[in-house]
Each structure stands twice: as structure tokens, then as C-alpha cells.
Chains A and B, each alone.
Chain A
Amino acid sequence: DAGVIQSPRHEVTEMGQEVTLRCKPISGHNSLFWYRQTMMRGLELLIYFNNNVPIDDSGMPEDRFSAKMPNASFSTLKIQPSEPRDSAVYFCASSSTKRTGYEQYFGPGTRLTVT
């Protein structure tokens, strides 16, 4: 049974470039979460979707960040333009709200380095 899939696993880009991170949630899950993890700030929730609809994007740092979920099996997180302070590990997680016990299942993460 495939878990949450993220791509790429590593991304190195120059300041000012556009970065797109991709996530495929577990089949049948209807909630999807994007997190950012840094040494300084720990694990931060950026945005979460329920049934493909953004529910809470209050964690998105600024307008340079955007996220979409065009269907139940795919989501993207885009940073445009990227800045060195965006360097972090970005995790996608999914869960099911259709039953009690909505533990989140995490992908392996994308390590982003902006130079």
C-alpha cells in the first residue's frame, strides 16, 4: 500500500526562481496538509485541504506561497519567487475524516535549498 508520495525529494534552486513541490496523498484520504520544518521554528502547518478545498491557509507565510489541489490525488505547493529563507524541509501529510481517528500520514518530505 503506497504511502504519501512527494516529489522531488531534494530541490536546489537560486533565489528568485519558481519552485513547485508535489504531493500525492494516500488513496481514499480526503484531507491534505502541507507543513514546513526548520530548526528554528520546528514543524509549521502551512495549509490544509478538505475534499480538495482549502480550509485554513493562515500558516502560509506570504503571497509568494500558493497551494492547489486540483483533484483528490494531487496537490502542489508553489513558491514564486523563492528566497534563501524558504530553505526548509516541506512535508505533505494526508488523513481521512470519514472515520474516527484522523491520524495524519506523512510523506518523506522535500528538502528545499535556495541559494
Chain B
Amino acid sequence: AQSVTQPDIHITVSEGASLELRCNYSYGATPYLFWYVQSPGQGLQLLLKYFSGDTLVQGIKGFEAEFKRSQSSFNLRKPSVHWSDAAEYFCAVGPPGAGSYQLTFGKGTKLSVIP
């Protein structure tokens, strides 16, 4: 069965510093990969997704993620964090191609930003 691991439960960074949130997955083939963000009291919003092709994908709000097949990882990065980025971030995987649409979510990483 597929699984997603986000090893960091909570990360604190200073505003303006760079950020990397880790995500590792276990899957039989290369899955579809997603990063979502959840602001307090809100639903999850899609930041970016990877299906195939270029392993570096750009998302909204200045985020990017890199797929590394050899490491089964899909880490999220941002070069300069803003206070408004404080939220919880979820990595998710889904089976490639059409036919089944269930996503498996990681437990999430909570990001705190120090002014």
C-alpha cells in the first residue's frame, strides 16, 4: 500500500529565510504527487502538482518542488519565506493515470514564521 512520510512535524523559520519541507513516499510506480497548504480555519489549497516531465515544478505563492525518483522524494521549497506562509503543509500521492482518484496524505508539517 502507498504511504507518505513527512518527517518534520513542526518547523520554525525566520521571515526571509529559505524553506524546505520534506516528503517521502512509498509506491510501486511513480505516483502523481501534490503539495497542499492549509491556513488556520481553512480548507486545503493546492500549491503544486507533479505528473511527469520536468522534475522541478513551480506552484503558486512562490513555491516549487523537486521530484527525485531515486530518493522517492518530493520536497517543497521556497527561497524566501513570508509571514503569511505560516500554515500547515501536506504532501499527497495518488495513482498515476486515470481510473482511481484516491489520494494518500502525509500527516502534515506545521510551519511557523518568526518576524
Contacts and interface: CB of A to CB of B under 8 A. Distances in A.
B42 A42 contact: no
A103 interface: yes
* Size band of the interface chain A makes with B: 20 to 34
Interface residues of B, number: 21
A95 B101 contact: yes
Given A91-B44, A97-B101, A102-B98, A43 B51 contact: no
Nearest to B45: A106
Contacts, number: 50
Interface string A42-61: 11010010100000100000
B51 A107 contact: no
A25 interface: no
A13 B69 CA distance: 47
A111 B36 CA distance: 20
Contact of A103 (B41, B49, B98, B102): B49
A106 B101 contact: no
Given A97-B98, A101-B49, A103-B34, A43 B43 contact: no
Consensus secondary structure, chain A interface: strand
A91 B101 contact: no
A82 interface: no
A112 interface: no
Interface in B59-115: 90, 94, 97-98, 101-103, 105, 107-108
Interface of A: 4, 31, 33, 42-43, 45, 48, 50, 56, 91, 93, 95, 97, 100-109
